[in-house]
């Protein structure tokens, strides 16, 4: 059994990253991490300063990416001012390559099934449930009516069994997606393979898989350092926070933390605030 790693201090994590900057990477969930959670998913924008900080990081470290349940086209719109940021949509089933969205071949045959699923959801579920059709993922949002959680989860579970789909529970949402081996953990495991330092920022249950990927890499590679940052929220409790090295209180705090990191690189002025590890 691997020996648990000693708790990280923030200054230690930053210093280790700066020392091997070109072999370091920063990876981010979108909703709830660098953007607020809203009832209207289409209206969500990154919090002030987030896009600028991610773009700044691209000139300092080897890899910066957003790994989200959002469609890749949505991410392209939100990060048009940060073209060096890599974008992975629909849990990694979509990737942006040279400005164009590339879909995982194994997922493409599921598109007609997911389209029918979205139509079934619109027919079967109460009108207060927001049905978000992402082509290869159908998201069932009950944020406006939390009392419908049980009904939504039962319907989703039944459809998952009937159609052979995977369920993903999140912050007042249940998502159904094809049984393709893509999730935030598989993306991070692949992206971090050539890195010696990797930070992941997340807020939800699905982000735990990315945390796990970093932990597994540490266990087989003593020279690798994973840094897990959780954005605290009441909806998912403290499960993710307990597994994190550091926590911030809201998406608005993520750019503040990143400014602490950026300021540690030579030639960057110190920020107005400091974060004690």
Residues marked active site are found at 29
CB atoms within 10 A of CB 137: 27
Crossing angle (nearest 10°) for helices 111-124 and 149-163:
150
The alpha-carbon radius of gyration of the chain (Å, integer) is 19
d(CA 55, CA 24): 15
Helices (DSSP H) in the chain: which residue ranges? Answer: 10-19, 50-58, 72-78, 111-124, 149-163, 184-191, 207-220, 239-242, 253-263
d(CA 252, CA 87): 21
d(CA 113, CA 270): 52
Which residue has tokens 């979509």? 94
| Greatest pairwise CA separation for the chain in angstroms | 58
Closest CA to 46 of 30, 57, 67: 30
């Amino acid at each position: 059994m691997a020996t648990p790693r000693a708790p990280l201090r923030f200054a230690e994590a930053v210093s280790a990253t700066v020392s091997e900057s070109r072999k370091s990477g920063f990876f981010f969930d979108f909703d709830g991490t660098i953007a607020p959670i809203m009832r209207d998913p289409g209206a969500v924008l990154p919090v002030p300063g987030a896009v600028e900080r991610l773009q700044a990081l691209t000139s300092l470290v080897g890899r910066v990416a957003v790994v989200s349940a959002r469609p890749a086209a949505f991410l392209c719109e939100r990060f048009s001012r940060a073209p060096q940021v890599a974008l992975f949509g629909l849990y990694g089933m979509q990737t942006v390559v040279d400005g164009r969205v590339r879909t995982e071949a194994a997922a493409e045959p599921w598109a007609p099934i997911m389209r029918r699923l979205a139509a079934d959801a619109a027919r079967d579920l109460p009108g207060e449930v927001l049905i978000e059709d992402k082509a290869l993922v159908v998201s069932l949002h009950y944020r406006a009516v939390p009392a419908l959680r049980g009904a939504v989860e039962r319907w989703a579970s039944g459809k998952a069994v009937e159609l052979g789909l995977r369920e993903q529970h999140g912050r007042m949402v249940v998502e159904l997606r094809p049984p393709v081996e893509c999730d935030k953990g598989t993306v991070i495991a692949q992206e971090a393979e050539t890195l010696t330092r990797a930070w992941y920022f997340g807020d939800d249950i699905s982000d735990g898989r990315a945390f796990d990927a970093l932990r597994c890499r540490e266990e087989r590679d003593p020279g690798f350092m994973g840094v897990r940052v959780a954005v605290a929220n009441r909806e998912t409790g403290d499960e993710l926070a307990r597994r994190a090295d550091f926590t911030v209180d809201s998406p608005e705090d993520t750019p503040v933390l990143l400014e602490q990191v950026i300021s540690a690189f030579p030639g960057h002025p110190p920020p107005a605030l400091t974060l004690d590890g």
